[in-house]
Amino acid sequence: MASVGLDELQLAARNHGLPLEALAYPVTPLGLHYVLTHFDIPAVDAATFRLDIAGAVERPLSLRLDEIQARPAVTAAVTMECAGNGRALVQPHVVSQPWLLEAVGTMEWTGTSVAGLLDEAGVRSDAVEVVFEGLDAGIDGAVEQLYARSLSLADARSDGVMLAYAANGVPLLPQHGFPLRLVVPGWYGMTSVKWLRTIRVVAEPFQGYQQAHAYRMRVSEDEPGTPVTRMVPRALMVPPGIPDFMTRERFVAAAAVPIAGRAWSGWGGIEGVDFSSDGGESWHPATLAEPIGRHAWRAWSYTWRPDRPGRYELCCAARDDAGNRQPLAPPWNVGGYSNNAVQRVPVTVRAQDQ
Ligand SMILES: Nc1nc2c(c(=O)[nH]1)N[C@H]1C(S)=C(S)[C@@H](COP(=O)(O)O)O[C@H]1N2
Ligand SMILES: [Mo]
């Protein structure tokens, strides 16, 4: 593994991933969902909070939290993954939040639809995009900013896109965007702006830092690249057996080993998951469970029967119904985004008498 610096350790100690054993839960318990915050977590007073809907609209709105909560509510299980998931596994090393594979989670979000609010404000005919701006300020790439991202009008209006004020049945935790955040199913997490303060409908494409500079797929700093959008497919397994404290290496008994995990894609449903115990040389189809929601990960399982004690490398790979399949080797780009190379779990099978 490439070594990470103290600045990366500082980020890794503030943000945190899903412990992979928590893949066991269909809905990630509060506190186990990954967290990624670029700047500081703002302390927001819900009593004085306002969401402004401004810009190219007929009727600008300024809504209190209780007014938003009084609107028609939707609840959906949504799998969210950071675009930088897998970054620490790419070569050459990309300096940023050093995720291995744990920047994912699924919560049951409750909120109100963005389409409904846009209709109420009345989007003007010259509008092209909707900018979602957070309360959190900071400096990124030498640019001072409020964290902000945009969506095309069509994407902002699409089914399932909501302003969420609750997760797993309780008000949002501070680190997940209290009191109000955007949730955009199927897209990488940077899209789902936390601590939402302003929705601005604009007549020109948004050129903010997190849109026009960060979150671009490109292999050199001087090319504009293409935007990072939806999650490419990924399957993860709960590492089986017991771990070594320091190396996290796994140890299992020489017996039938139940393997379980979850798989998701932002491009469509999961068509299949394949399992390998020889580092990706040979593959065996896993069993898929029924989906728990259109925007949520899907459980899969496989019974692995190692034929002898020794060292193995377990892998899993997802396929979606849009025809995407996980690669064996990580794709490289400047930001270390969208690395969905297959998970590799080294395991030692111990003889029965050990
Ligand atoms: N306002 C604001 N929204 C934000 C961010 C942020 O730093 N500020 N980080 C984004 C990124 S990169 C991710 S991956 C998700 C993480 O959401 P979570 O911490 O609730 O898991 O929030 C997104 N929304
Ligand atoms: Mo992210």
Q: Separation of 81 CA from ligand 1 center, angstroms? A: 10
- Are both 221 and 239 inside the same structural domain? no
DSSP notation for 110-179: EEEEHHHHHHHH-B-TT--EEEEEEEEEEEETTEEEEEEEEEEHHHHHSTT-EEEEEETTEEPPGGGTTT
Tens digits of residue pLDDT in 277-311 = 999 999 999 999 999 999 999 999 999 999 999 99
| One domain for residues 264 and 289 | yes
Task: Indicate the average pLDDT of the chain.
Answer: 97
Domain boundary among 227, 256, 275: 227
pLDDT of residue 2: 66
Please say whether the beta carbons of 262 and 273 come within 8 A: no
User: How far apart are the CA of 15 and the centre of ligand 1, in A?
Assistant: 10
> Which of 227, 248, 265 marks a domain boundary?
227
pLDDT at 1 over 80: no
Instruction: Measure 74 CA to ligand 1 centroid, in angstroms.
Output: 21
Is the per-residue pLDDT at 353 higher than 90? no
Give how many domains the chain has, as a whole number: 2
What percentage of the chain reaches a pLDDT higher than 90? 98
Residue nearest to atom 19 of ligand 1 (CA): 35
Give the ligand 1 atom nearest the CA of 175.
19
**31 and 154: one domain?**
yes
In sequence order, what are the beta bridge partners of 152? 129
Q: Percentage of the chain surpassing pLDDT 70?
A: 99
Q: Do both 159 and 64 map to the same domain? A: yes
Query: What is the number of the ligand 1 atom nearest to the C-alpha of 176?
Result: 20
The Å distance, Cα 189 to ligand 1 centre, comes to 6
Q: Which two tokens stand for residue 138?
A: 């900071």
Is residue 93 predicted with pLDDT exceeding 70? yes
Res 3: pLDDT? 83
**Cβ count near 106 (within 10 Å):** 25
User: What is the whole-number distance in angstroms between the Cα of residue 189 and the centre of ligand 2?
Assistant: 5
Let me know whether 270 and 332 are in one domain: yes
In a domain, 1, yes or no: no
Q: Which among 227, 261, 296 is the end of a domain?
A: 227
Instruction: Kindly state the average pLDDT of the residues 130-137.
Output: 98
Are both 218 and 90 inside the same structural domain?
A: yes
pLDDT of residue 34 exceeding 60:
yes
What 8-state DSSP symbol labels residue 29?
P
Pocket of ligand 1 (CB under 6 A): 33-38, 80, 82, 134, 136, 147, 175-176, 189-190, 192-195
Give pLDDT tens digits for 162-204: 999 999 999 999 999 999 999 999 999 999 999 999 999 999 9
**Smallest CA separation from ligand 1 atom 11, residue:** 190
Residues 6+ apart with CB under 8 A from 186: 160, 230, 231, 266, 267, 295
Q: What is the average pLDDT across 207-215?
A: 98
Q: Which domain holds residue 120?
A: 6-227
Residue nearest to ligand 1 atom 10, measured at CA: 190
Cβ neighbours of residue 353 under 8 Å, at least 6 residues apart? none
Closest ligand 1 atom to the C-alpha of 38? 7
Q: 95 and 13 in one domain? A: yes
Q: In the prediction, which pLDDT does 10 show? A: 97
The pLDDT score that the predictor gives to residue 21 is 98
Q: Quick one: tokens of 221?
A: 């700093």
Q: Are both 213 and 311 inside the same structural domain? A: no
**Distance in angstroms (rounded) separating the CA atoms of residues 114 and 162:** 5
Interatomic CA distance for residues 308 and 147, integer angstroms: 53
Number of the ligand 1 atom closest to the C-alpha atom of 136: 1
Place of tokens 């010259």: 126
Mean pLDDT of 35-52: 98
pLDDT tens sequence across 256-268: 999 999 999 999 9
Whether residue 249 is found in the same domain as residue 204: no
Q: pLDDT band for position 352 (50/70/90)? A: confident
Residues 310, 205 share a domain:
no
Residue 139 and residue 68 share a domain: yes
Of the bound ligands, which one is closest to the alpha carbon of residue 149?
1
pLDDT of residue 354: 59
- Planar angle of CA 120, 126, 128, nearest 5 degrees: 80
Same domain, 125 and 255: no
Confidence of residue 241 (pLDDT cuts 50, 70, 90): very high
CATH number of the domain within which 15 lies: 3.90.420.10
pLDDT average, residue stretch 5-31? 98
Q: What is the mean pLDDT of residues 79-104?
A: 98
